[in-house]
Structure formats: structure tokens, C-alpha cells
Structure 1
Amino acid sequence: MEIWPAIDLRHGKPVRLRQGDYEQQTVFGEDPVVFAKRWQAAGAKRLHLVDLDAARGDDPTANREAVKSIVAETGLPCQMGGGVRDEATIEALIALGLSRLVVGSAALKRPDWFANMCDAHPGKLAAGIDARDGMVATDGWLETSSTPAIDLAKDLRQRTENLVAIIYTDIARDGMMRGPNFDGLAQMAEATDIPLVASGGVTTLDDVRALVRMEMPAAIVGRSIYDGVMKLEEVLDVAGDR
């Protein structure tokens, strides 16, 4: 199972939110490159970045220098989500050296456009499906739609063969250190053949082992490795991602 250590960016700094709440923010330092190199030294083969400013419609360029530095100084494949809503942004972020981008709100609101972008940039776009009580949340998790997450996944698969992955996040579990929503992940895996990336609540090595038993292709780990609940080296060992 692939492991993607997460670096969430706000105003150029590494932070973590609880359940996507911008008022419940922990700042982990001044320079996100420090964490990127720390995870690389621990054995990470790839990184998952989130632009929290762009996600909720703030300055879409606030974190780009930090992103550029992370990509350049680690040389690792990096994917990033947050505020990817038009082709100009897609092209600008790919030009920074990002390996793939995660499209969330626009995949729900403009599925034809998203499918066209997947076809225009094969191998570069993943769908970020963030669910609150099984329904797709959008706009930096500030809004909840009436569309079931599973229905969106099925619809996207029908529209394009060039969608590389679904990053599936249960918002209620994100940053809460309570474990993933295994039932929701299992239902999503059964509903579509698109490779899944489990996100939100991966807290213990037992959580990682459970995801491996589910044959989950990949998982994102965040707060647990920042708080020291898990060591990334051990996570990589359990996942077999060495």
C-alpha cells in the first residue's frame, strides 16, 4: 500500500485542521520544506500537499513558492489538492513540477469539464471526494451537497477512463485521531474500480494493517505522524511501502 504523508499549507506554513475547521488550526512551524525533508528522510516515496488558502477561495498563489520549494528540494512525486477549479490553475500547478492534482468541488459541480480535463491531462488528475455523512462536501468543506459520494464516483468513471485515483476523505474522521471510516471505504471500493486513496483518521498501526487487509491501494497519513502517535518509518514498514 502506498503511503502519502500529508503537508497542509496555509499562508505558506505547515498546519493541520480538525475536521476541516479553519478555526481549529495547529501550526507546526514556519517552513514546510523541513517536514517534507523529514518525511523523505524517514523513507517516504511521495508527498500529499493541500493548499488550504486556495481551497476556500483565498489567494490561490499564497502557497505556490512553498510548493515549488518542496518539489525542487525533495525531488519526490507530489500531488496537491485545494482550489483546482480551472484549466489555468491546472497548467500553472503542473508547471511547478507537481506529479498530479486533486480536483474536488469542480468534479462535482462541473463533471463534464472535469472529465475533459482528465482526458486532456492523462495521468495527472485525481478526484478528491470528501464526504460528510456520506454526502459530497465542497468549497473547502464549507458546503455539503445532496449528492452521495458513491454516486459521484460512479458518474466520474462513466465519463472518463483517465481519472487516476479517488482520494476519499470522511470529514468526521479527519484530524480527529479516531481511525478511518472503514465501512465507507469498503462501500466506495465496491462501487468503483478507480484506485482509492484512504484519507482521514488513519491514526494507529492497526488502522494501517486494516487498510492493508482491505487491499487499499494507498493511504494518506497526517496528524498522527505530526503528533508522534505513529512513526512514519513504522507506517511504511507495515504498509510494505519501502
Structure 2
Amino acid sequence: MEIWPAIDLRFGKPVRLRQGDYEQKTVFGDDPVEFAIRWQQAGAKQLHLVDLDAARGDDPTPNREAVKRIVAETGMRCQLGGGVRDDAAIELLLGVGVSRLVVGSAALKQPDWFADACDRFPGQLAAGIDARDGMVATDGWLETSSTPAIELAQDLRSRTENIAAIIYTDIAKDGMMSGPNFAGLAEMAAATDIPLVASGGVTTYEDVQKLVEMQMPAAIVGRSIYDGVMQLDEVIKIAGDV
């Protein structure tokens, strides 16, 4: 199972939110590159980056500069989510060396465009499906749609064979240190053959082991490694991502 350490960016600084609430954020320092290098030294092969400003329509410039520096200084495979809503953003971000982009709200609101983009950039676009009570949340988690998460995954698969992955996040679990929604992940895995990335609430070594046993292709870890609840090198070892 691949392990993707998360670096969430707000005004160019590394932060973590609780349940996607911008008012409940913890700032972990001034320079996200320091964390990128720390996770690389712990054995990480890839990073999951989130532009929280672009996700809610704020100026993405400071975060995009941080992303450029992370890619340039680590040479790691990076996937980036937040505010990827059009061809211009895709071309810009892939152009700075990001390996994979996560499209969230636009995959729900513009499924034809997203499917076409997947076909034009095969294997480089993933769908970020964020769920609140099983329903898709959009616009930086500020809105909840009437579309079930599983229904969206199946619809996207019916439109394109070139979607790289689904990053599936249960908002109720994200940043809460309470463990993933294993039942929701199992339902999503059973509903589609798109590779699944578990996100939200991965807190203990037991959580990691259970995801391995569920044969999850990948998992994102965030707050637990920032707070020292888990050591990233041990997470990577349990996951077999060595």
C-alpha cells in the first residue's frame, strides 16, 4: 500500500484543518518544504499536497509557489488537489512537475469536462470524492450535494477508462484522530474498480494494518504524523511501501 503524507497549504504555510473547517486550523510552521524533506527522509516516495486557498477561491499564488519549491527541491512524485477546475489549471500545475492532480468539485459539476480531461491527460487526473454522511461535499467542503459518493464514482467510471484514482475522504473523520470510515471505504471499493486512496482519520498503526488487510492501494496520512502519534517510517514499513 502506498503511503502519501499530506501537506495542506494555506497562505503558503503548512496547516491542518479539523473536518475541513478553515476556522479550526493548526499552523505547523512557515516553510512546507521542510516537511516535504522530513517526510522524504523518513522514507516517503510521494506526497499529497492540498491548496486550501484555491479550493475556496482565494488567491492561490503563495501556495503554487510552495508547490513549485517542493517539487523542485525533493524531486518526489506529488499529487495536488484544490481548485483544479479547468484546463488552464491542469496545464499550469502539470507544467511545474506535479505528477497527478486531484479534481474535486468540478468532477461532480462538470463530469463531461472531467472525463474528457482524463482522456486528454491519461493517468494524471484523480477524482477527489469528499463525503459527508455519504453525500458528495464540494467547494472546499463548504457545500454538500444531493449526490451519493458511490453514485458519482460509478458515473465517472462509465464516462472514462483513464481516471487515475479516487481519493476518498470522509469529512467527519478528517483531522479528528478517530480512525477512518472503514465501512464507507469498503463500500466504495466494492462499487468501483477505480484504484482507491483512503483519506481522513488514519491515526494508528492498527488503522494502517487494517487498510493493508482491506487491500487498499494507497492511503493518505496527515495530522497523526504531524502530532507524533505515528512515526512515518513505521507507517511506511507496515504498509510495505519500501
- Give the TM-score range, shorter chain: over 0.9
Q: CA deviation at 1:61?
A: 2.3
TM-score, normalization by structure 1: 1.00
CA RMSD of aligned residues (A): 0.4
Percentage identity across paired residues of the two chains: 81
CA distance in 2, matches of 1:121, 1:182: 31
On the 8 A contact 1:53/1:62 being kept in 2, the answer is no
Supply the distance in 2 between the matched residues of 1:11 and 1:169 (Cα, whole angstroms): 23
Q: Which amino acid aligns with 2:49?
A: L
Alignment match, 2:93: 93
Secondary structure of the structure 1 residue equivalent to 2:224: helix
Corresponding residue for 1:162?
A: 162
Aligned equivalent of 1:199:
199
Residue of structure 2 equivalent to 1:144 = 144
Opposite residue 203 of structure 1, the aligned amino acid is T
Q: Does 1:7 align with 2:14?
A: no
Encode CA deviations 1:181-201: one digit per residue, 9 max, x unaligned: 000000000000000000000
For residues 228 and 150 of structure 2, what CA distance do their matches in structure 1 show? 33
Match of 2:218 in 1: 218
State the match for 1:25 in structure 2.
25
**Cα displacement string for residues 201-241 of structure 1 (whole angstroms, at most 9, x for unaligned residues):** 00000000000000000000000000000000000000000
Give the corresponding residue for 1:227: 227
The one-letter amino acid of 1:194's match is I
Deviation per residue, 1:58-82 (Å, 9 max, x gap): 1132311100000000000000000
CA distance in 2, matches of 1:8, 1:60: 13
Counterpart AA for 1:76 = M
Q: Distance in 2 between matches of 1:170 and 1:63?
A: 24
What does residue range 35-46 of structure 1 map to in structure 2 within 5 Å? 35-46=35-46
Q: 5+ residue gaps in structure 1?
A: none
Aligned equivalent of 1:116 = 116
SS at match of 2:172: helix
Other structure's SS at 1:173 match: coil
**Following the alignment from structure 1 to structure 2, what is the Cα–Cα distance between the partners of residues 89 and 195?**
24
For residues 96 and 205 of structure 2, the distance between their equivalents in structure 1, rounded to whole angstroms, comes to 33
Structure 2: give runs of 5+ residues left out of the alignment: none
Deviation string for 1:166-187 (max 9, x for gaps)? 0000000000000000000000
Question: Who is 1:107 aligned against?
Answer: 107
1:93-137 deviation line (CA, Å, top 9, x unaligned): 001100000000000000000000000111110000000000000
Q: Which runs of 4+ in 1 moved over 6 A?
A: none
Q: Distance in 1 between matches of 2:61 and 2:101?
A: 15
Is the 1:2–1:218 contact (alpha carbons within 8 Å) kept by the matching residues of 2? yes
Q: Tell me the matched-pair count.
A: 242
TM-score scaled by length of structure 2: 1.00
